Amino acid sequence: MNGFYKFLENILPATVHIHTHIAPEHASAATLGTERMGSGTVIDERGSILTVGYVVLGAQQITVTLQQGAQVNAQLIDVDFDSGLAVLRADMPRVPPITLGDSHDLSRGQMGLILASTEPTERRVSEGIVTALEAFDAYWEYMVDRAIFTTATNLGLGGGAFITLDGVMRGVVSLNLGDLRDATMVIPLEYFARIREQIMPYGRTRERPARAWLGLYPMFSPRGLLVFEVVARGPAARAGLQAGDVIVRLDGQEISSRPAFYTQLWQQPAGAQVVLDILRDGRLQTITVQSQDRWEFFR
């Protein structure tokens, strides 16, 4: 047990507390609020911090608090909407960075720990096992082909590290699912590895073309894909799509599931016109949406 606590002493200083302020007029403020808190992890000697995108999206001011209480301002380097990850950089006292890995050698039943902040100088650790390594999709036009699911409950704020008992960070805590089997969803670090060489020097991934984004929240129903909300002033809202509409076809192709909808949508680049056949009040209509680059909308 003493060895276990020594292990935590060596890695907990890399976990930081993040406090952000967002302008009320920013496009994310209506759903995510104008003041947010989260966890982050120091990943290199330059003061780079890896966290989850929703904590820092649109931030005007970012304050990072280290475990011993030192506070520093941080700069947002990028939010990668494809993965849901974000990178900050702060001029901070030297903090030993955590060792980075990925999920490729993880297996079901393997033990792991979640490290997160609860208050500026308080950190919490929880343990659990990996229950699944599989695709995940969500209503905010988000899908990854591989996510880590674990019984470890996140006792702190989102954006913390999921590590294995060798001290290697395997992913970033994204969502509390509240299920006994799958308590937490973690974004694997291979998604960061894919974009690291672009994000770190340039501040945004340049080589991968932006994919079409509509600004709608879909949920599958027996009749098709039910739109339960649209993003204010987003592409779908501007085209006249409404909450309660049911999408039955995208560019002439029937929609069988939300993942199928995303897969087909993302074959189009940002800016492409997307044709949706919808049911509204029981009547079939066609709406053409001018898609957009989500990064441009939320920057």
Please tell me the predicted confidence (pLDDT) of residue 195: 80
Please tell me the predicted confidence (pLDDT) of residue 133: 97
Query: Would you mind telling me the total number of residues written for the chain in this entry?
Result: 299
Please tell me the predicted confidence (pLDDT) of residue 227: 97
Q: How many CB atoms lie within 10 A of CB 100?
A: 17
Q: What is the mean pLDDT of each run of 10 residues along the chain (299 residues)?
A: 68 96 95 97 95 96 96 94 95 93 96 96 96 97 97 96 95 91 94 79 61 96 93 97 97 95 97 97 96 93
Please tell me the predicted confidence (pLDDT) of residue 1: 43
Which of 46, 38, 49 has its CA nearest to residue 14? 49
Q: Concatenated DSSP letters for 230-252?
A: E-TTSHHHHHT--TT-EEEEETT
Q: How many CB atoms lie within 10 A of CB 235?
A: 23
The answer to whether the Cα torsion of 100, 104, 105, 110 is positive or negative is positive
Q: How many CB atoms lie within 10 A of CB 228?
A: 13
Judge if pTM exceeds 0.75: yes
> Which domains are present in the chain?
2-90 (2.40.10.10), 99-202 (2.40.10.10), 216-298 (2.30.42.10)
Distance separating alpha carbons of residues 86 and 84, to the nearest angstrom: 7
Burial 74-83 (b: 16+ CB within 10 A, else e): bebbbbbbbb
For 95, the 3-state DSSP assignment is: coil
